[in-house]
A and B are shown apart, each in its own frame.
Chain A
Amino acid sequence: MKLGNYQVKLEKKLKVTGWEAAAISILAILIALALFSLIFLQAKVNPLTGYKDIFTYAFADQFGLPLTINRAIFILLCTCAFIVPMRAGLWNIGMAGQLYAGALGAFAVAFAFGAASGSQNLSLSPGIVIPLMMVGAALGGALVGAIPGFLKGRFNTNEIVVTMMLNSIGFWLVAFMIKDGGLFMGAGGEGEGFKLPQSLYAPQILGGPFTILLALGLAGFLYFMFARTRTGYQIKAYGLSPSAARYAGISPYNIPLLVFIIGGLLAGLAGYHLFAANPGVYKITQNYGDFGDLSFYGIICGLISLENPLAAIPIALLFGGLASGARYAQGELRMSFGVDYAMLGVLMITLVAFQFFYRNKIVWKKSEKEK
């Protein structure tokens, strides 16, 4: 029904306050955990034991917590990479491709200064090369991000299709670079990239990678950008009404390009974090594709946080924790492979379903109350 639709649409746009959104997300998480109990039961594991294992490992274990934080940083950066274009009404589902490009960018810089040789002696001091690697990562991501942004602005090409295609191109590009005699191939030649010399390991703070400050700082900066700056205002205006934005002189070419460059840059930094700052890694790993898949949780965190970069912080932490905790529980409780991804999947579906019911419930609730 058109009129029916009209009403739903109208109510859908109602502002959801931050606290309501938080309450509903927490409820959704509890329900997701309850649902996931079935998987424990089916594996003949007491769900309470299962969850205890997951949460203690994720948030109170000396090995688990760093893992959680590492993943949370990664997811937070990917979430921000999704949020920025989303504020302009555009879907960035190309974080995977962008983070591959970021990783290649970072390692290209390291390579250029002789890091692949295995020697510790670089042609420049690490104090310069490390920042340059980050710049390389940001540039790589931004460059790949610019493609869908440019095509959208100039030719109104569907950004979803373009970002998806770039994901597979990025995947194969990394394979080309690190496998079978690729330029960035590691010494072992087992389908891995070369390992960074120790001097190029990213600095640490409090035993964790410094990229945590980077990610938190960027989330705070983006929040400020959308709340208070001219650029944020223009992006939001374009997202809410492209025709009104055009009337106000906001360029329909530049905004898509800009948001995708920022998005790509953030995803590129996620790639830097993952492969060049993550303790114990410091190389493009064989299973880099799995992390590309993990970047998709940026989409879901972005939607749950109602496109608010600050709200994304606790959500990214939770997802990071569940990802690392479930992986651990899977081994510990001898459950079948893929429990971590199943867990994130259930959580994701419940949260999305709740968003939907939530927004439609408002319509229904309103008409009840107002009588």
Chain B
Amino acid sequence: MSMVEMKRGDMVLEARGITKRYPGVVANDHIDFEIRAGEIHAILGENGAGKTTLMRILFGLTQPDEGEILIFGEKVNFKSPLDAIHHGIGMVHQNRKLIPAHSVIENIILGHPSAGRITNLKRTGEEITELCTKYGFKIDLKAKLWQLSEGEKQVVEILKALYRGAKILILDEPTSALAPPEVEKLLASIKLMTGSDLALVPFITHKLPIVLSVSDRVTVLRRGKVTARLETKNATEKSLAKEMVGREVIFRLQRVEVKLGKPILQVESLSALDNKELQALKAISFSVHEGEIFGIAGVSGNGQQVLAEVLAGLRNATEGKVSLDGIDISHSSSLERWQKGMGYVPAERIDVGSIGDYSLADNVLMNYYFDDEFTKWGILDSKGIRKLTEALISEYDIAAPGPDTTAKSLSGGNLQKLILARVLSRKPRLIIANLPTQGLDVGATEFVQNKLLEAKKMGAGILLISEDLDEVLSLSDRVAPIYEGEFMDIIPIEKARREDIGAMMAGLKHQAVKI
């Protein structure tokens, strides 16, 4: 981007009539879109509305079928992200693309257009440090990537884009994997960036409060079309939701009171190691009953992921006992656990929860191939599984042309819906739901939460793992804040106070907060 004299409010990026068709869907349908210098521009829309597609086009990752992009009134034609980078555009993807074994500074330099010529690592370090102080980022440049939290990795992605000279920073759902305090820090830095430097930030998110608190303007997409362009100050949570979904959305969940049955899951002093062989779970004990939602609230990296994997049979415990319906399953394989009525919704929807090259039907089969319902003499009932997939697509309102589409062509939220649909359709006795609503739009979040409540009503026990305190508090019957591999307490929902739980998630001992 040529550094023309810029004033706040000047038109910088304009996209006209952008159209992108995929087999069976028009992902972007004649979209007009503009951003002005110094603004944070939120892009809202239901799952599959076409947000990521539009941003991928602006970043040169895909080419539009029709339409043009102007930067400073000059027509540009991006053949690859490199062209976009030369025009001052940077993108922070939802799925991180960093190298765990390298240090922060190495990751930032990697792939820099002049990486071959960067010889003075000390100078580079100073320049990056300068960027950090300017925008309020705190990060140890020598730390290895695997040592960082999700929020810190996000910062590295942003620094990487900024160091390449990005003035337009595309953020695709940057907050969905971050803990609340990290979100606050990130938003503060973004505000600093748009302040004096007039950088502009198109920002995709499903979290309406964030839109209202940081953005200047909002563009709303629905089914590939722009349905609204507004100034944030004229918007409310309700009005935005209505533009997105096309109808009123009720934000209240109907809590259901279910008489608790006998315990389904019993965990006794369970310990386990993480990938770095560090103690990640420290002798945890708890139980989940029929008709109960047991919520685990915690900042990511405090052992909840390891707990979910141990329970699902994907990681060995070093100590302890797990029983399902009174039967000891500590040494059962994951397949046996599925067959005994456990259902696991993993947090990693792309790497673990789905197979990108498999069709949607084959992805549904992932939780069914071992059942006699869909196999006879080892031969798969392809018709039956297709029918089930079609039913799930329509019940969960998954935006996809049909059961033969590959999973990798689904939008992030729709993939999440597919995984949930598949697991819940087995009617498991125990559901382990790890971040079940990550990346879902408001409507879909509400839908999924209701599905969990429905399962609870039917007598399933649910272990809900979430970083979203509101979600945990509105769904759970009991809440356990987790910190460094230990439950700080197990609190019945009537006694759970938001502030206390927030403090415990941050590691303040329960004695301190309990009277």
Contact = CB atoms under 8 A, between A and B. Distances in A.
A334 interface: no
Given A4-B82, A240-B355, A247 B97 contact: no
B183 interface: no
Given A240-B358, A251-B333, 20 more contacts: A2-B111, A3-B82, A3-B111, A6-B97, A7-B61, A7-B80, A13-B408, A229-B380, A231-B378, A234-B369, A237-B358, A237-B362, A241-B351, A241-B355, A244-B355, A246-B314, A246-B334, A247-B334, A249-B338, A366-B63
A4 B82 CA distance: 8
Contacts of A251: 333, 335
A371 interface: yes
B140 interface: no
Given A241-B356, A247-B334, A251-B333, A230 B80 contact: no
B80 A3 contact: yes
Given A230-B369, A247-B314, A251-B333, A370 B379 contact: no
A112 interface: no
Interface residues of B, number: 44
Interface string A236-253: 110011011111111100
Chain A, interface residues (CB within 8 Å), range:
20 to 34
13 contacts: A228-B380, A230-B380, A233-B369, A237-B355, A237-B358, A240-B356, A247-B314, A247-B353, A249-B335, A249-B337, A251-B333, A370-B62, A370-B64
Nearest to B110: A2
Interface string B38-81: 00000000000000000000000111110000000000010111
Interface in A247-285: 247-251
A240 B344 CA distance: 20
Contact of A3 (B81, B362, B365): B81
A-B pairs with the 7 shortest C-beta distances?
A: A249-B335, A248-B366, A370-B63, A3-B81, A2-B111, A247-B352, A249-B334
A314 to B, nearest CB: 25
B283 to A, nearest CB: 26
Interface string B372-388: 00010011101000000
Contacts of B333: 249, 251
A236 B358 CA distance: 9
Interface in A1-51: 1-4, 6-7, 13, 15
Interface string A345-371: 000000000000000000000110011
Contacts of A6: 97
A281 to B, nearest CB: 37
A241 B350 CA distance: 10
B251 interface: no
A42 B85 CA distance: 51
Contacts of B344: 247
Nearest to B363: A244
B129 interface: no
A233 B97 contact: no
B305 interface: no
B466 interface: no
A245 B375 CA distance: 18
The secondary-structure label for the interface of chain B is loop
The secondary-structure label for the interface of chain A is helix
A284 B115 CA distance: 59
B357 interface: yes
A244 B369 contact: no
Interface of B: 61-65, 77, 79-82, 97, 110-111, 312, 314, 333-335, 337-338, 344, 346, 348, 351-358, 362, 365-367, 369-370, 375, 378-380, 382, 406, 408
Given A237-B366, A241-B355, A370-B64, A247 B82 contact: no
A249 B380 contact: no
B425 to A, nearest CB: 15
A1 B64 contact: no
B68 to A, nearest CB: 10
Given A2-B110, A4-B80, A244 B379 contact: no
Contacts of A230: 369-370, 375, 378-380
A1 B379 contact: no
Contacts of B354: 244
A100 to B, nearest CB: 32
A137 to B, nearest CB: 25
Contacts of B80: 3-4, 7
B110 to A, nearest CB: 7
Contacts of A231: 378
Contacts of A250: 335
Contacts of B370: 230, 249
B378 A244 contact: no
- Residue picked from A13, A237, A248, A366, most chain B C-beta under 10 Å: A248
A92 B77 CA distance: 45
Contacts of A246: 314, 334
A272 B79 CA distance: 55
A125 to B, nearest CB: 33
Nearest to A238: B355
Nearest to A246: B314
A370 B77 CA distance: 12
Contacts of B365: 233
Given A2-B110, A246-B314, A251-B333, A229 B378 contact: yes
Nearest to B79: A367
A12 to B, nearest CB: 11
